[in-house]
Structure 1
């Protein structure tokens, strides 16, 4: 089944400036469907099997091993970094990863419900592409609802349009075609990548989830001082006007963050039913 209404809405969205909020028609929807509140077990078909991880977020609260007060403590850190890995912890932030690396503040699965509220900032560098598309939707929903009103999220992720421009040349000599075939598949599947985003796709997701003031920045730049100069991954470049990495920011308004039912249906119909193991 093709969701023509969704594509019509998408085309209308492409004419809007960044930061325009979602329509009132989608404002009350969640992963459970129209009119229902978001819940950890919502949206059949957008559920991930992660029994190994489900208990981990119970360990998030309290001070870190170093004694740093956490987001749930009075006066604690209100800035959370997800997927920091073993080498990219940021001073003054609550640094988390799904793996228990030395020096991180908490082990957590960012696609599961967060125990935090009233956060100032959430940051994820080269994190989003490591989640399945439905996992990314859940992460954005839970992270967004952990922000206080006006709180801001910053994300960096490889730019699909840059990959297409730089990794494969149609009509090239056979040797270059072979190398390009390897390069483009490596970009999609290497390093644990699950899904690559274009700027339009990422902006559409953020807007449909209910984020406001969506904006894009170059490496290390931001209008918000606390979000500037955070990037640690090197290799940023621009080719034919396309940056190698998309860096997006968005704010939470007063309303809960939740995907429109159209967005859920579109993702299920046009991607998940083909991408799942055993799909025909």
Structure 2
């Protein structure tokens, strides 16, 4: 196990029963945040109004901690112990709208994990988000991106899977490898290295989980790390 893998791991599923869940989330987030989070899972429309307020405290506490800072962008309910998962989804640790500038100081984040999110925003917004990632990462920091692979879809995928990838799941832009490499370069990243699912030689490959959680062929996605 690598040093980073020892620090960061996917959380186990929440326990059964309302009381057990309350104890878990109130202990993690505080009573107000936990209560608002629970209500928002039932009434999502309220979360954009209250989420930025009630979840900001948890984000500030995380930022004041020690050790490497791993930011899990757009992770929804896929929480990672030791990391900060941000999303508009109330199950995330903190409310952050990824279509807007990230609420983090420049050069303040060590690592960014960005799994199956980039395809959910239009291309110009995606480039702006990558530039924000570059802004907040410390020199020498690493970003790992997983996003559907247009090259594989065009040459190897079954027809139904191609159509589902393009028209399902609220996707907005599917990247070829060349286009993703170009976007990373335009955003200011260098040393892009293509990887594979759960690549043991990659710095953050141990965090990949989407193919397992959603039971799809890992080849559907492309995996790249950049500095």
TM range (shorter): 0.5 to 0.7
1:233 and 2:210 aligned = yes
**CA distance in structure 2 between the aligned counterparts of 1:61 and 1:228, rounded to whole angstroms:** 29
How far 1:136 moved relative to its partner?
A: 0.6
How far 1:166 moved relative to its partner?
A: 3.2
| 2:76 paired residue number | 85
CA contact (8 A) 2:56 2:95 kept: no
CA contact (8 A) 1:80 1:93 kept: yes
1:99 and 2:100 aligned = no
**Equivalent position SS for 1:121:** strand
Q: 1:206 aligns with which of 184, 188, 195?
A: 184
| 1:145 paired residue number | 135
How far 1:218 moved relative to its partner?
A: 0.7
| 1:119 paired residue number | 109
**CA distance in structure 1 between the aligned counterparts of 2:49 and 2:178, rounded to whole angstroms:** 32
Gaps of 5+ in 1: 1-51, 169-179, 252-280
Q: Which has the higher contact order (CA 8 A, sep 6+)?
A: 1
Q: 1:69 aligns with which of 61, 71, 91?
A: 61
How far 1:186 moved relative to its partner?
A: 2.1
Q: Aligned ranges for residues 36-51 of structure 1 at < 5 Å?
A: none
| 1:15 paired residue number | none
Q: Choose between structure 1 and 2: higher helix proportion.
A: 2
CA contact (8 A) 2:144 2:224 kept: yes
- How many residue pairs were aligned? 176
1:221 and 2:211 aligned = no
**Equivalent position SS for 1:163:** helix
CA contact (8 A) 1:98 1:108 kept: yes
Q: TM-score, normalised by structure 2?
A: 0.68
| 1:244 paired residue number | 220
Q: Aligned ranges for residues 170-181 of structure 1 at < 5 Å?
A: 180=159
Q: Aligned ranges for residues 28-43 of structure 1 at < 5 Å?
A: none
**CA distance in structure 2 between the aligned counterparts of 1:142 and 1:53, rounded to whole angstroms:** 21
CA contact (8 A) 2:197 2:223 kept: yes
Query: What are the Cα deviations for residues 228-268 of structure 1, in whole angstroms up to 9, with x where unaligned?
Result: 31011125647xxxx321111111xxxxxxxxxxxxxxxxx
Query: What are the Cα deviations for residues 40-91 of structure 1, in whole angstroms up to 9, with x where unaligned?
Result: xxxxxxxxxxxx9699667664325xxx9322x25376111011122x1111
Of structures 1 and 2, the larger Rg is shown by: 1
How far 1:185 moved relative to its partner?
A: 2.7
CA contact (8 A) 1:80 1:96 kept: yes
Gaps of 5+ in 2: 1-46
| 2:13 paired residue number | none
